[in-house]
Structure 1
Amino acid sequence: MSNPTCATLSIGLCHSETLTVAARHTVPEVEPAWPGFADMPPVLATAMMIGFVEQTCIEGLRPFLSAEQRTVGTHVDVSHIAPTPVGMTVTATVELIGIEGKALLFKVQCRDEGGVIGEGTHRRAIIDLSRFTQRLQEKAAQAGN
């Protein structure tokens, strides 16, 4: 039996993932070429929290996509209101609250042992991987890559 398609997705789908914050997830480790980050506190970087939210959405959607489909992020509106040190566990919880064709809207929240550290919304779009890859190659060719 093949994987179900997007038509089986429904509002209310929820998924959670956990992450133990490691040094590689902290602000000073985001990008060594960005000197502004080097002397920042070693706490979970907002960029990493957003990436973790995306990962949680991807894993929650995986059972509902065909082998040819993936999802890509298209919009993020998420606060990051509390620091999380190395060693603490963060739980991201995502809930599908809107479906418009291939566009999906999630309510998202991240918590650590101290409470909510971030929340908001995240939009993703369902794509056909081969078409997306073809368009990407065409764009790269235009750039001379």
Structure 2
Amino acid sequence: MLILIWQKFSVHKISTIDNIPPVVMKGGDPYIRALMRTISTSEALDSNPYTLLYGGKHFSDFNRHPNQCITIVSGPHKGECSTAAGRYQLLTITWQEKVKKYHHKFSNSVSITPESFEPQIQDQVVYAWLKDHHAWGVDIAVLLKQGKLNQVL
């Protein structure tokens, strides 16, 4: 199967699902980074996952979460609205909550505003959230290192 991936704002063709798009964020725990790629594979396997809206369309303004209400067409929430966007398909309310909680952890390394939805910010917020053992009640990185993927998932 031929898959297109997005890397550094350009499109590349790949031939296997093993070569999913790398996260834009540099550094960090490799186990958490691998989990981020795993999450985005099920949520936004696309040539440009950072600009993906629920339903498959794309947005172009990274100044803030796009907050576009898109009607869900199937499943238990059919007819309801989804604002899911970006590599991790975060809802507007979730994004606002998580960026407010975690942006201080990296704001010195990147020039951001609390509203920014830039690819690096998407990665950094999700990374900080996954590393927050208080949020999950467990240390996800430790579980991954112990091979307890099913428990993490």
TM-score of the two chains, using structure 1 as the length reference: 0.25
**Greater relative contact order structure (CA < 8 Å, 6+ sep):** 1
- The structure with more radius of gyration: 1
- TM-score, normalization: structure 2? 0.24
Query: If each structure's helix is expressed as a fraction of its own residues, which one has the higher value?
Result: 2
Q: Which structure is higher in strand share?
A: 1
